[in-house]
A and B are shown apart, each in its own frame.
Chain A
């Protein structure tokens, strides 16, 4: 990333991760801060903003900040905008085109249809059920005693998979246990889990209406198996922007920049 004068900041307070992106007057991403979300969000926000000011070399006033994400009301910011609008903005700037953005976060998943002008034309969200979110894989990883980051690699190690049919994350956990008891290899189970997640997300995407290209963002986008399986489910290639986890914060920063 280039080092230039920080013009605006975007803050995305997610339930799993806290992200901050700094942009210059051109709207280019300069640097970012990414850390796990802490229970005391206000304290975290204050601390991170101090870090950001130090990094920028000057105090950044609220007018240069747009906050988004589920904790956006707890952050000092000039404006608060939903993560839907911010993600669309960020992805549009990062890729240069619209399409269907699939964002799988820690506790929710959303599909945002972005028009050729960068505007949101439709969106659907799953925020009532953990089964279509990163949480699903988190629970599975814990149960399988694997690192969350390993899951994707492990899933791709196997050609075969064991189908996980439970609709509910909690019941999927017991299904995992019974499949292990039946002697199925971990790789096949993990593959089945990722399949289950991507099927659900693909269904959400279809209900929003697919407008090509399909793009993936959010923490779970780092999982290579998710991207591959989603492409299989939708029968189309899935693009990955350069910083999939930062799209919300980036979009927020761009909105802040545009206000100035």
Chain B
């Protein structure tokens, strides 16, 4: 928001960054199209859109690096109603997504250790510990995170985010917008929707004050429309997993979900998913599966195990087990229909109350049962994530009912999404082996 910041941003992001990232994408694309690029007997090569994904993600963090001084910055929870912030011109950062990047790049452990050295217990969410480690000066693989001017916390994914964001608010001394979404034990009631709507309205006012500008209805409409389009495309992409063989696995989706999570409301996100969908349609037409030899199909419940994705993906692929869908990636598509871009705030109040994590354990079970049928699943892995109580509590009963009533082999796998110290390769793989034997591969 100052001339120097403006210049610095445009030089580094638009002039230098854009060109460099584009060249890098083109280089990667060329490499991917060379014969002999991919030599794996079990897994199909990555999607040809992957270099573009990398470009989008790198670009996102590059923008963040130079955002301070150029535009207002908001840190947001992954299920947050981000549309009005994007429409107000905020650069939006997702600490959870940054946490996942650290998890994938194996830097989360050191950040957690740093946070623990400052007194944060090992019993709190590993995303939060990763974030606190970064907040306290730890090294992050994305370079440098912009300081927030505003925090937006929506409790529709868990109750600890409010505690986490209170810590951030105290550290950064910035305002915190709370959009509290009362937990839906049963169906949503009018007073719950009203409450969320009022908080959204108050949130908009607060965000306008910090940004120093007013929210233009046309801007919000545009962002809401793009958000919905992208969500609908994402839902279609996941639906591709219903094909036999599945042209994409949940492991791929864990990576390709980055735009819908952290770049919602942008045109390039819509374009990306259209391109991805086109490529997947091509694969479906040619009968190309994500696995060279798909024998069995399974579902995944809960967050991924970020630091072990490649290894687990390989382990399953070697036995022809395709992970065709997950409740986690599904969460960003299943509510697309509920969005009404003509009444963005009103429908947002309703939409943001309904993510799967804000609904009862019985509802999640029904969702899994439906997915099992629609995706013709032969089994399910329920990741009992030590760091995620809202997702994990209820899994024991869900597992019982899936294995019992539905006769669906269901493995409860104990781990953590970001803290490798809680994970034992030998133990986990032993259980996976046993599970695959039950599946019959």
Contacts and interface: CB of A to CB of B under 8 A. Distances in A.
Interface of A: 165-167, 171, 174, 203, 206-207
B308 to A, nearest CB: 13
A167 B117 contact: no
Contacts of B421: 165, 167
A207 B119 CA distance: 6
Kindly list the 3 A-B residue pairs having the minimum CB-CB distance in the complex, ordered from nearest: A206-B117, A167-B421, A207-B117
B422 A207 contact: no
Mostly helix, strand, loop or mixed at chain A's interface?
helix
A166 B424 contact: yes
B113 A203 contact: yes
A171 B424 contact: yes
Nearest to B114: A206
B116 interface: yes
Contacts of A206: 117
Contacts of B113: 203
Contact of A167 (B118, B422, B426): B422
Interface string B112-135: 010011110000000000000000
B425 to A, nearest CB: 9
A166 B117 CA distance: 20
A203 B121 CA distance: 12
B422 A203 contact: no
A113 B236 CA distance: 59
A34 B424 CA distance: 40
14 contacts: A165-B421, A166-B424, A167-B421, A167-B422, A171-B424, A174-B426, A203-B113, A203-B116, A203-B117, A206-B117, A207-B116, A207-B117, A207-B118, A207-B119
A167 to B, nearest CB: 6
A7 to B, nearest CB: 41
Interface of B: 113, 116-119, 421-422, 424, 426
Contacts of B116: 203, 207
A212 B166 CA distance: 33
Contacts of A174: 426
B98 to A, nearest CB: 23
Contacts of B118: 207
Contacts of A207: 116-119
A171 B424 CA distance: 9
A65 B118 CA distance: 39
A207 B422 CA distance: 20
A203 B118 CA distance: 10
Nearest to B119: A207
A207 B115 CA distance: 9
A207 B421 CA distance: 18
Contacts of A203: 113, 116-117
A232 B190 CA distance: 61
B221 to A, nearest CB: 50
Contacts of A171: 424
A178 B118 CA distance: 35
A72 B422 CA distance: 36
Nearest to A206: B117
Nearest to B427: A171
A47 to B, nearest CB: 43
A166 B426 CA distance: 11
Interface centre among B116, B117, B118, B119 (most CB of A within 10 A): B117
A174 B424 CA distance: 12
Nearest to A210: B117
A42 B338 CA distance: 73
A183 B162 CA distance: 50
B296 to A, nearest CB: 30
Contacts of B424: 166, 171
Contacts of B119: 207
B278 to A, nearest CB: 44
Given A165-B421, A166-B424, A203-B116, 8 more contacts: A167-B421, A174-B426, A203-B113, A203-B117, A206-B117, A207-B117, A207-B118, A207-B119
A168 to B, nearest CB: 9
A171 B428 CA distance: 13
Nearest to A174: B426
A206 B421 CA distance: 18
A165 B118 CA distance: 23
